[in-house]
Structure formats: structure tokens, C-alpha cells
Amino acid sequence: MKPKNSKYLLWFGKELHVEQGAFPGWTLVPCPEAEDLWDDRAQFKGADVVIVQMTDAERPMVITAARVLTETAEKVRIMRLSLGSLLNVEALTQARPLPNAFIEMSEDDLATLADIAQVRELHPAQDYHEGVLHYGAKIKGKDFLVTSNGEMIPLLECPGRDILLIYSHLNESGMSQGAVLDYIAGADYGPPEHVHRRIVEYLKQHIYFQNEEHFDMLAVWVMGTYLYRAFRYYPYLHFNAEKGSGKTLLMELLAPIAFNGALMAQPPASTVLKLIEQNAATLFLDEVEGLGEAKSGGSQLKSVLKTGFARSGLYYNGDVAYRTYSPKCFAGINLLDDVLADRTIVVRLLRKTGYDTLKQYRETPLARKEQAAIRDELYHFGLRYGPGIAQDYDSETTLYDKLKHLTNRAYDIWVPLFKIVNSFSEGTYKMKVFQSMDHLSQTDAKRRASRDTEENETGNALEMIDVVMDRVKPEETHKGIAYYDPDVVLDVLRREGLIKRTMERKALSRMLKKVLDIDCKGKQNGLKVKRMYAIELEAMKEMKRRYAPEPPASDVV
């Protein structure tokens, strides 16, 4: 191995897929063993080195190589790349320096760390690992893990039992001491549908839905907040309606019974990150109108929310990574942007009329007592039935045959809810709830299809422009703008079958203006002024890059 340049990509074992042309000036170096770098380390003096890890087994070699090269290289970074994934410039931004703790660690400590490298960090508030669900609980001022296999483990004893926690203390727990003692004593709070029915009855006292199926879905969603960390994805909710429809009231009802629920209006991203990181909180975000705008002051919050529906979700602030995964609910009049909408189930509310006989909600001691009782039932539900639901979720048994109307992303966010319903006792109640969920998921699928159709308008319009630029010679090209005769364009698109033969020039002009912002401008042609389509070439190139990207070529090395 004879390094020649000042930038290097190193990896071990498996083949590395690199985007063609993405790394000019970089030298790609496959390494059979990390120790082989010891003799060559001087040749990396002053270099920028990125070491790629593709499997868990490579982790010790990557750390060893980084420790060796840190002595001579100007900069050493490490990154994780999924096996078979394409390495491109965007992926390279995830490379991070090796923490000083690893650099200063002794060889013996490093070997010990490698032995426990597979131990996963668990959240003390709620987590699921190797078939066991646990919650954090406070008993007489001390913090415990209450597990689904009937144990109470003091947090202080977790390190001695090889339980690696994100935090060594518990910030919040909604599980009462009585509920903990009942669970350890073997008390039976009933089957899952029992707490579902209780949540529905609680909501119906104060909220009106024209479609009562929403009560069933909301109750299932709340149940899922108590075992969301067992799922790979968990759906967001969006309460979308005009003022006076009860959006905020519904959040006020749900926040006290959801897992570590927190209700906020227009929160900064830092607050959201703190609540997720410390409490694994279910977040209820009111008045989030900016989440639908292309540019808004809440761009940092949007970045957090766009990854927070997935268990792997992270948000980077400089070199610091924050976990973003937790259940979230938004309330607002405006629609969400497309990326957030893709992760969200929309719930529409109507204004209450004078004929709706609902009980006014007030936060009284009696109301808080009812909410605490529901929370305790939900904790018992999670401990008794959570592991079984998680195993069903992870099993090869899918619901594709029953949910054929859902595409990939929609299936991902709906399937945890259906798996919860699957835990209900067989009978008419389970069938009713399943039918409610099925109908609402079909409505959601139609909403997604409608949104996709709008997006397809752009793709179809770009295809038309591609054909025009390929088949029609522009009347003139000036300062990056190509001018085309509208009648010629109309004729070509009709002949190619890209528009209906009955479409008139005015309709085509309106569509191109609306979708691609292409104007039909007056252009001097001799003594006459003739209207022509003015196509800005760079703008079209950028639109094609965004809406119709070509799959990147790759080199396999």
C-alpha cells in the first residue's frame, strides 16, 4: 500500500460501492487488517482520512485503525455505512472524529469494550430489548426499571447487570407506586380491549367526531405510545381543522394519558430535543402553522420532526447527535409539507354545534384521578401484552393481504396500530375496531394518492418539456432562455400523445405556467410581436434534478 495523495477512504473486508465521480482526488484503500496500517502510518502524515465501517464485526478494526492514524494524519474521521449502500458526498457528511475517550483508552479497556460492543443503549423511561419491555418508575424517591418479566431493578444496579442506559436517572414517570405494586403482585387489569374501551369513553365525554371511527384509532394510537420503542416506525397525528373545532381540547385530553405526554405551543427545537432525549416523551405540538411552509422560522424544528418517526432518527447539531424518535401530534389549520405529511395520519375535526351534548372538560382533581387510572391501565397493558405485540410486529407474519391498499410508507406507519388491535381478544369488539382502522387507513391511502397525483403533474410537465427540447428547434436562444412557438409545441405534444388532442393552446399555457412557471411572452419577430414559450434552461435543469433524478452510477471497488 503506497499512499500518494492527501485524502483517503479506508475500509475493511466488504466491497465498497462509491458514486462515480463523487470523490475526485481521493485515494480508495482497502485494508485487510487494521494492524497493517502501523508500518505505513507515517505515509499518511498531514492527510484527511475517512474510515468506513459497514458491519458490527468491523467496529474494533475501525477504532484500532483510527487510533493508529490519529498519530500522523491531519484529520481522521469514522462513519457507518449500511452494507451495500452507495457512498456519496452527502453520506460522507456523517463522518465524525473518533472521540478522545477512545484515543486515550488502554488496549485492555479497548478489548473489553469490543466484547460488549453489541450491548444496546436503553432508555430508562421506556424501551424494548430481546423480548423484554421495561418502564422507569419512582418508588419512594428511588428509580427502578419495572420489566415485563416481573423484575424491579434499581437503576443503580443496571451497570452491574450489563444493562447500558442512556441516563443513570429517571426524569419522569407516570406510573403510580400502586400500579407498580399491583403489577409485581400479579394483578390483572383485563385484556387490551378493556383499556381501549375506557379511552374511547373518556374521549367521547368531551369531543365530537362526525366519524366515530376516529375514537377507535386515537385510542389505539395512545396505547401504542406505551410500546412505541418496540416499533421501527410510529405514525404522527395531525389534527387539521379551523379554529373552534376542538383541536387544542383534544390535545389537552390526550397529553395526560399518553406516555410521558407534553403539550406545547410553538416550541423551539431545543425543547423538543430535550424532552425526547430525557423523557422519551409523547409530544403534542399546538399552533404549528409554519410546518407547511417551504421556508419558515421553524426549519430547525422541521428537521427534527422529519426524522423523529423512525427508531433510527437522529438530528445533528454540529458534532452532537440527538435522538428524535417519539410519538408526536400536531394541531393546526394549515396542511403539513409533503415530507411530514408522508409520516402522518390526518384527523379532521368539525366545529361543535349547539346540539352536541358534551361535558365541558376542566382540569379538576377528579379528572386528574381518572387520567392517572387510565395511565396505570396503559402501563399494565404494555407490561402484559407489549412483548407479544412486539414479537408479532417482528415476525414474518405480515398484514399485506389485509392492507393491500397501503403503499410502503403508509404500511410502515399503520402496521404498528393494526398489530395492537391484533392483540385484542377475538370477538365483535375486535372486529369493530379493526373495521374502523381499515376504513380510516383506506381514506388515508386515498389522501396520499391524491397528493401523489399533484406531484406527478410536475413530472408529466417535465416529460413534455423534454420532448419539446428534443424534437423542436427553438426560434431563438438568448441569455439562457430558449423561445418556442406555442403552436408548434402544441402540435408536437398532441402527436406524441402527451396531451389530449382536444387541449387548446390557452389550457396548455395555463398548465405550464402553473406547474413549471413557464411564461408565454411577447417576442419581437421582424416587424411583428409574436407570443412564445420562454423556457429558462438552467431552471428546467434544476427542476429535472429535483423531480426526475437519474439513478447515480456507481463504481464497485
546 φ/ψ sector (left φ>0, alpha ψ -120 to 50, else beta): alpha
pLDDT band at 295 (very low <50, low <70, confident <90, very high): very low
Q: Is residue 30 part of a domain?
A: yes
Distance CA 471, CA 271 (A): 55
Task: Report whether pLDDT(551) > 50.
Answer: no
pTM of the predicted protein model? 0.66
Q: How many domains does the chain have?
A: 2
Query: Tell me: the pLDDT tens digits for 389-427?
Result: 999 998 866 676 678 788 777 888 999 999 999 999 999
Task: Report whether pLDDT(297) > 50.
Answer: no
Q: Which residues contact 554 (CB under 8 A, 6 or more apart)?
A: 17, 18, 19, 20, 86
Q: Is residue 44 part of a domain?
A: yes
**End position of a domain, from candidates 51, 84, 115:** 115
pLDDT band at 296 (very low <50, low <70, confident <90, very high): very low
Query: Tell me: the pLDDT tens digits for 205-257?
Result: 999 888 889 999 999 999 999 999 999 999 999 998 777 778 899 999 999 99
Query: Of 274-283, 359-368, 399-408, which gets the smallest average pLDDT?
Result: 399-408
Task: Report whether pLDDT(110) > 70.
Answer: no
> 3-state class of 520 per DSSP?
strand
β-strands 236-240, 328-332: how paired? Answer: parallel
Average confidence (pLDDT) over 324-347? 85
**Closest residue by Cα to residue 224 from 444, 433, 414:** 414
Distance CA 299, CA 216 (A): 33
**Closest residue by Cα to residue 27 from 61, 50, 45, 46:** 50
pLDDT band at 335 (very low <50, low <70, confident <90, very high): low
**End position of a domain, from candidates 97, 115, 133:** 115
Q: Is residue 49 part of a domain?
A: yes
**Closest residue by Cα to residue 313 from 328, 296, 298, 295:** 328
Mean pLDDT score across all residues of the chain:
84
Query: Tell me: the pLDDT tens digits for 486-511?
Result: 999 998 888 877 888 788 888 899 88
Average confidence (pLDDT) over 85-106? 76
Q: Is residue 319 part of a domain?
A: no
What integer pLDDT is reported at residue 398 of this predicted model?
67
Query: Which position has the grid cell 409554519?
Result: 290
Q: Which three cell numbers stand for residue 147?
A: 420489566
Percent of residues, the chain, with pLDDT higher than 90: 36
Q: Is residue 120 part of a domain?
A: no
Kindly provide the residue ranges of all beta strands, DSSP E only, lying in 63-141, ordered along the sequence: 75-80, 86-87, 96-97, 126-129, 132-139
Alpha helical stretches, state H, 45-93: 59-70, 89-92
What integer pLDDT is reported at residue 552 of this predicted model?
39
Note whether 225 and 417 are within 8 A (CB). no
Distance CA 418, CA 423 (A): 9
**End position of a domain, from candidates 74, 92, 115:** 115
How many Cα atoms occupy the beta-carbon half-sphere of 158 within 13 Å?
25
- Single-letter code of the amino acid located at 175: M
Task: Report whether pLDDT(318) > 80.
Answer: no
> 3-state class of 207 per DSSP?
coil
Classify burial at 505, counting beta carbons within 10 Å of its beta carbon; exposed 0-12, middle 13-18, buried 19 or more: middle
Average confidence (pLDDT) over 14-18? 75
Give the DSSP letter of residue 51. E
Distance CA 197, CA 189 (A): 13
Q: Is residue 102 part of a domain?
A: yes
Query: Tell me: the pLDDT tens digits for 443-489?
Result: 888 888 776 666 667 778 888 888 888 888 898 898 899 999 999 99
DSSP 240-273: E--TTSSHHHHHHHHTTTSTTEEEEES--HHHHH
The domain in which residue 76 lies consists of: 7-115
Q: Is residue 68 part of a domain?
A: yes
Query: Of 25-29, 55-59, 279-283, 330-334, which gets the smallest average pLDDT?
Result: 55-59
Q: Which residue has the higher pLDDT, 457 or 271?
A: 271
Give the DSSP letter of residue 228. G
Q: Is residue 340 part of a domain?
A: no
